[in-house]
Amino acid sequence: MLIRPILLTSFLLLPLGATAQEPVSVVATVGMIGDIAGILGGDCVAVQTMMGPGIDPHLYQATARDVQTLNRADLILYSGYGLEGQLGEVFARYAERVPTLAVSEAGIAREELVATDNAYGVDPHLWMDVSLWAQIVPAIATQLSQSAPDCAASISANAATYGDQLAALHDWTGQTIASIPQTQRILVTAHDAFAYYGRAYGIEVEGIQGISTQSEAAIADIRDTADLIVAREVPAIFVESTINPRTIQAVIEAANQAGQPVRIGGELFSDAMGEPDTADGTYIGMIYSNTTAITQALGGTPAPLPAALADWAAQWMIE
């Protein structure tokens, strides 16, 4: 459980006798949702994120503390489309007594999703295509404005600014991936979290195990991936912050034995953001960090950051 400090300054500055508007208590499942709720809501919301850095949402089970937090929430935001595994049923029950929104299901049409053979029939890793994830911004803004009507104007303005930033991030990511030499534009990672990333930005994606992390990679999967690395002369493959790196190590050993000197190209954020109060702990930073690591390890050069991201870069002291 990650608790963000509630800003009390505006409350303390109120003249005597005025009634302060309590910030709306928002509980989000993953950081990629909580970050956006906090940016749109500003001081009007106090956001708590259930799953912090390194936490795998596919396997997550609510703790006793989560239940306490959820019981006090004014608004619950989760992704849906099967991302949160069994928690989906828990939220269906909360929805009967507190506003509860599956933001991906509300914002992103099912036709835009990649079909899979998992229990839900669709790949839930939608934040990997920034233009898709941007579609949850209006859905969150609408819901927040209902919970905090006095803040509707600022929420709407923040949503517009943030939407511009995401549009710029989407373009930058595409340009940056395009700098990788065509034959090396292949992304090998532990689990299939990057299908939307590959589709949006033109890089071939090979996940060693399936969409969810509930099954261990089989020996045959490891051997097949090593064969591919040798055949394509892939220089680097990637570990993920939420996945045990054992599988990736096994693939590297098998490829090295077959004569291809592949190395780890870096750690990617797949299903959780980085530490809070760092650039990697923001949704924009998560995509920026992944794209930079992939591009540099595979022989490309990141494009200059667009003007719309200048404020974000300055905030986190990124050149």
Q: Which residues bind Zn ion (CB under 5 A)?
A: 193, 271
* CB of 137 or CB of 195, closer to Zn ion: 195
CB of 273 to Zn ion, least distance (A): 13
Shortest Å, Cβ 77 to Zn ion? 18
Q: How far is the CB of 85 from Zn ion (least distance, A)?
A: 10
Local structure of residue 167 (DSSP, 8 states): H
Which residue's CB is nearer to Zn ion, number 58 or number 170? Answer: 58
**C-beta of residue 210 within 8 angstroms of C-beta of residue 118:** yes
How far is the C-alpha of 78 from the C-alpha of 29, rounded, in Å? 5
Quote the CA–CA distance of 102 and 122 in Å, as a whole number: 15
Judged by beta carbon, residue 35 or residue 271, the one nearer Zn ion is 271
Which of residues 79 and 260 has its CB atom nearest to Zn ion in the complex? Answer: 79
Q: Which is nearer to Zn ion, 123 or 280 (CB)?
A: 123
Tokens of 148: 């905090």
Residue nearest to Zn ion (CB): 271
Q: How far is residue 288's CA from residue 280's CA, in Å, rounded to a whole number?
A: 8
CB of 32 to Zn ion, least distance (A): 12
| Nearest of 132, 164, 153 to residue 311 by alpha carbon | 164
- Nearer Cβ to Zn ion (103/193): 193
- Any residues with CB less than 8 A from the CB of 283 and at least 6 apart, and which? 31, 32, 35, 36, 127, 133, 273
Minimum CB–partner distance for residue 191 and Zn ion (Å): 6
DSSP 301: -
DSSP structure string for 49-106 = EEE-TT--TTT----HHHHHHHHH-SEEEE--TTTTTTHHHHHHHHTTTS-EEEHHHH
End-to-end alpha carbon distance in the chain: 32
Nearer Cβ to Zn ion, position 81 or 172?
Answer: 81
CB of 133 to Zn ion, least distance (A): 14
Residue with tokens 């949160």: 84
